[in-house]
Chain A
Amino acid sequence: MSLSAFLLVSLVLFSAGLVAIMSRRNLVTILVGIELMLNAASINFMAFNYYTAVDPVVGQIIVLVIIGLAAAEVAIFLSILMVLYRARHDVDVEEIREIRG
């Protein structure tokens, strides 16, 4: 297993997340895409941490921060989603365009 194998995996995951965000209209799917991208970034960090870093602790801390951040983000995202659904019975981003200029 080399560094490039890890990077390839993370690239695939990141691309999948980006495609999910860009192409799907359901907010839940978009949330999943965001999670994928965050995890791809985490894998990247751990890979570089394992192969090239002088002090591995720094990379581990950053990954832990990302995980915490992702958890918080999911909590907020889902609560907004619930309120939106209650108000509009719909979670389609194409339909939620109230502040269009």
Chain B
Amino acid sequence: MNPAILAIVVIFTPLVAFATAMLFCMKAHRIAQGLILGGGAVSVVGAFLLLLGGPSETQSIVWLSSGSLELSFGFMFDGLSLSFGAVVALITFLVQVYSIGYMHHDPAKTRYFALLGLFGWAMLGFVYAVDLLQALIFWELVGLASFFLIGFWYEKPSASAAARKAFLLTRIGDTGLLIGILLIINISGMAHIPALLDAETGLTTMVSEGTLTLLVLLIFMGIMGKSAQFPLHTWLPDAMEGPTPVSALLHSATMVAAGVFLFARLHPLFMASETAILVVLCIAIFTALMSATIAMVETDLKKVLAYSSIGQLAFMLAALAAGGLLAGILHLILHAVFKALLFLCAGSYIHHFETNDMREIGRRGGRRMRWTTAGLVIGGASLAGLPPLAGFFSKEEVLASLSHGGYHLIWFLALFAAFLTAYYTFRMVFFIILPDRPLEADATVHDSSPVILGPIIFLTIATVLGGLILGPLAAILLLDVPHHSLLSMLPAILCALAGVFVAWWDFGRSRATRRGFVGAVPVLHRLFSRKWYVDDVYQAVFARFIQLMATVLHRVEVDLLDGGADRLADVTRWTGGWTARLQSGWVQAYIASGVVVVALAGYFLGSR
């Protein structure tokens, strides 16, 4: 079948399902649910058919032409789009299945499922997009859909505030992205991605390195917002206000992945600028360390996972910036799998215990939910980078690409971040499986329904076997599979094991203090638990400045504009009141004034 037709089916089926559900099924929850799941299933089948068909020519039509500028609309069928498109479709579908169980009692189910469809459409459209502007449109739609879903329980003030925060912070980045794209169109006269990336005639041959650095850094602003890198990362932990399946979707295959995906898509442009590479590496490694340290002291299960997402996204960006295209994409895909798994497990606990505090989940018998706990342990081990799970392979590739690129300091810091990742991940695992007091014989703890467990089990298997995709992925991306000796893998394995051991020492063994080693340094502990004061600084500087401006503008409106209009009205009314007194109702006075007027008129007209 023509891949373009297949791509249209893959991308637009969720949109049709979304529109139908929104327009006609507001009351019929089951039909809406079926529609969205059906659309998701069609997308999965289509995306995998595309993937099996292998890379083929880009197909696009001219969508808008003005002068010499031509904007196109179409689809790319290279290895990157095909592989990641399949992952997006699959994980979206699994989350939809999971949501049947998770959102079972929610009265606004139709809206929820419809928005999942919208989300799927936006992300798939972005992944296959061939034109920068087309990509931007879907990029913004992804942001819009996540705004709706984060604020799904909009009656909660914290949820709607989180949705606004996510939207505004990504918007700051998107402003840079928009300016960057407009500048690229202005300079090169095209927005066709393959043409821009062409080594002989593309953007790199048209501009000086300084200009290119500016352009890619503007684009990187958008990536920082979307992929939650410092200093625009603060929306991601707050986005935990949404339903947990949404977090699973947001943190794995969609939204945050869009930023990394754009980086991978425009990889040759970034590679042409040394400065941009350094900036990206510095931001990424700082973000990785910062998020890992915050996750070390966090007790909210979902927030630990949120900070781990920030850290893993930073790893991907660092790998891509160091030239490891395969490593970055591999980590993007495998992270999508095991992070979705972790969030779905977290959702299973939260659905049962109705709390986000992992200590409480552990105490109330979280480990008795056997399948969920198995998923959590395997997902956690994968996040920590323990062999032979998916995360081990991708993290190993990331670290190898850093060391091959010659960034030894960054490599060392990344190893440290990997150690911290293993530490906080197993802190979370030990909190849940080894609670600090013995469980009471509570018979009510039972595992979740099959519709929740199904996606968890599927993703657990995928996490165990994920490392196998390395070869096929390299083949479809037309890259070589790097070979690493056991010796070069040793530091990463040792770091992960050390992290697990320290976590066991601090939280797992029977006489553990359960405070963690940062607890010994109160200053650091306070810094980490206040999230490095980033939110406080934003609150103190930007929020207060804007509030001040709002106050001033409010006074201007009330006093100057409203007040001015009020004074004008007062004067008019006062004048009216005075002139109304002339209407005395005294007929003779009217006649007298008439006579006087006629006499005066006669006098003046006669004397002329």
Interface residues of A (CB under 8 A from B): 18, 21-23, 93-94, 96-101
**Which of A21, A22, A23, A101 is in CB contact (< 8 Å) with B584?**
A101
Asked whether A101 lies within 8 Å of B581 as measured between CB atoms, the reply is: yes
Asked whether B591 lies within 8 Å of A21 as measured between CB atoms, the reply is: yes
Asked whether A94 lies within 8 Å of B582 as measured between CB atoms, the reply is: no
**Which of A22, A96, A100 is in CB contact (< 8 Å) with B591?**
A22
Asked whether B588 lies within 8 Å of A21 as measured between CB atoms, the reply is: yes
Q: Which residue of A lies closest to B586 (CB)?
A: A97
Say whether B606 faces chain A, with CB atoms less than 8 Å apart.
no
Greatest chain A CB density within 10 A among B584, B585, B591 is at B585
Q: State in angstroms the CA–CA spacing of A21 and B594 once bound together.
A: 12
Q: Which residue of A lies closest to B579 (CB)?
A: A101
- Report 6 cross-chain contacts, Cβ distance below 8 Å, ordered by A residue: A22-B588, A22-B591, A94-B586, A97-B586, A99-B583, A100-B584
Asked whether A100 lies within 8 Å of B588 as measured between CB atoms, the reply is: no
Closest Cβ of chain B to A50, distance in Å, is 23
In the complex, the 7 A-B pairs of residues with the closest C-beta atoms, listed nearest first: A101-B583, A97-B585, A101-B580, A100-B585, A93-B587, A22-B588, A100-B584
For A100, list chain B residues within 8 Å (CB).
Answer: 583-585
Tell me which residues from 543 to 573 in chain B have a Cβ below 8 Å from any Cβ of chain A.
none
Classify chain B: how many residues form its interface, as a range.
10 to 19
Closest Cβ of chain A to B526, distance in Å, is 75
Say whether B601 faces chain A, with CB atoms less than 8 Å apart.
no
**Which of B579, B582, B592 is in CB contact (< 8 Å) with A22?**
B592
Asked whether A97 lies within 8 Å of B591 as measured between CB atoms, the reply is: no
Asked whether A97 lies within 8 Å of B584 as measured between CB atoms, the reply is: yes
Q: Which residue of B lies closest to A97 (CB)?
A: B585
For B588, list chain A residues within 8 Å (CB).
Answer: 21-23, 93
Say whether B469 faces chain A, with CB atoms less than 8 Å apart.
no
Closest Cβ of chain B to A25, distance in Å, is 8
Asked whether A99 lies within 8 Å of B591 as measured between CB atoms, the reply is: no
Say whether B279 faces chain A, with CB atoms less than 8 Å apart.
no
Q: Which residue of A lies closest to B584 (CB)?
A: A100
For B468, list chain A residues within 8 Å (CB).
Answer: none
Say whether B28 faces chain A, with CB atoms less than 8 Å apart.
no
Q: State in angstroms the CA–CA spacing of A101 and B585 once bound together.
A: 8
For B585, list chain A residues within 8 Å (CB).
Answer: 96-101
Closest Cβ of chain A to B280, distance in Å, is 78
Closest Cβ of chain A to B378, distance in Å, is 89
Q: Which residue of B lies closest to A18 (CB)?
A: B595
For A18, list chain B residues within 8 Å (CB).
Answer: 595
For A21, list chain B residues within 8 Å (CB).
Answer: 588, 591
For B580, list chain A residues within 8 Å (CB).
Answer: 101
Greatest chain B CB density within 10 A among A23, A94, A100 is at A100
For A94, list chain B residues within 8 Å (CB).
Answer: 586
Q: State in angstroms the CA–CA spacing of A99 and B580 once bound together.
A: 10
Closest Cβ of chain B to A46, distance in Å, is 21
Starting from the known contacts A21-B588, A22-B588, A96-B585, 20 additional A-B residue pairs (CB-CB under 8 Å) come to A18-B595, A21-B591, A22-B592, A23-B588, A93-B586, A93-B587, A93-B588, A94-B586, A97-B584, A97-B585, A97-B586, A98-B585, A99-B583, A100-B584, A100-B585, A101-B580, A101-B582, A101-B583, A101-B584, A101-B585
Q: Which residue of A lies closest to B588 (CB)?
A: A22
Closest Cβ of chain B to A34, distance in Å, is 10
Q: State in angstroms the CA–CA spacing of A22 and B591 once bound together.
A: 7
Q: State in angstroms the CA–CA spacing of A21 and B582 once bound together.
A: 20
For B581, list chain A residues within 8 Å (CB).
Answer: 101
Q: State in angstroms the CA–CA spacing of A100 and B586 once bound together.
A: 8
For B592, list chain A residues within 8 Å (CB).
Answer: 22
Q: State in angstroms the CA–CA spacing of A101 and B575 once bound together.
A: 13
Q: State in angstroms the CA–CA spacing of A13 and B580 once bound together.
A: 35
Q: Which residue of B lies closest to A22 (CB)?
A: B588
Closest Cβ of chain A to B599, distance in Å, is 11
Closest Cβ of chain A to B594, distance in Å, is 10
Q: State in angstroms the CA–CA spacing of A46 and B588 once bound together.
A: 30
Q: Which residue of B lies closest to A30 (CB)?
A: B587
Q: State in angstroms the CA–CA spacing of A22 and B582 once bound together.
A: 18
Q: State in angstroms the CA–CA spacing of A48 and B272 once bound together.
A: 109
For B584, list chain A residues within 8 Å (CB).
Answer: 97, 100-101
For B579, list chain A residues within 8 Å (CB).
Answer: 101
Q: State in angstroms the CA–CA spacing of A77 and B170 once bound together.
A: 82
Closest Cβ of chain A to B591, distance in Å, is 6
Q: Which residue of B lies closest to A24 (CB)?
A: B588
For A97, list chain B residues within 8 Å (CB).
Answer: 584-586
Q: State in angstroms the CA–CA spacing of A18 and B588 once bound together.
A: 10
Q: State in angstroms the CA–CA spacing of A93 and B588 once bound together.
A: 8
Q: State in angstroms the CA–CA spacing of A18 and B584 once bound together.
A: 20
Q: Which residue of A lies closest to B592 (CB)?
A: A22
Q: State in angstroms the CA–CA spacing of A64 and B580 once bound together.
A: 40
Closest Cβ of chain A to B233, distance in Å, is 70
Q: Which residue of A lies closest to B587 (CB)?
A: A93
Q: State in angstroms the CA–CA spacing of A21 and B592 once bound together.
A: 9
Q: State in angstroms the CA–CA spacing of A23 and B592 once bound together.
A: 10
Q: State in angstroms the CA–CA spacing of A9 and B588 once bound together.
A: 25
Q: State in angstroms the CA–CA spacing of A99 and B595 once bound together.
A: 22
Q: State in angstroms the CA–CA spacing of A18 and B585 once bound together.
A: 19
For A96, list chain B residues within 8 Å (CB).
Answer: 585, 587
Greatest chain A CB density within 10 A among B582, B586, B588 is at B588
Q: State in angstroms the CA–CA spacing of A97 and B584 once bound together.
A: 7
Q: State in angstroms the CA–CA spacing of A74 and B321 once bound together.
A: 105
Q: State in angstroms the CA–CA spacing of A18 and B591 once bound together.
A: 9
Q: State in angstroms the CA–CA spacing of A96 and B587 once bound together.
A: 9
Closest Cβ of chain B to A96, distance in Å, is 8
Closest Cβ of chain B to A32, distance in Å, is 15
Q: State in angstroms the CA–CA spacing of A90 and B209 once bound together.
A: 102
Quick one: CB contact mask for B32-63 with A, threshold 8 Å, 1 for yes? 00000000000000000000000000000000
Q: State in angstroms the CA–CA spacing of A53 and B586 once bound together.
A: 41
Q: State in angstroms the CA–CA spacing of A71 and B579 once bound together.
A: 36
For B591, list chain A residues within 8 Å (CB).
Answer: 21-22
Closest Cβ of chain B to A47, distance in Å, is 19
Greatest chain A CB density within 10 A among B581, B586, B587, B591 is at B587
For B582, list chain A residues within 8 Å (CB).
Answer: 101
For B583, list chain A residues within 8 Å (CB).
Answer: 99-101
For A93, list chain B residues within 8 Å (CB).
Answer: 586-588
For A99, list chain B residues within 8 Å (CB).
Answer: 583, 585
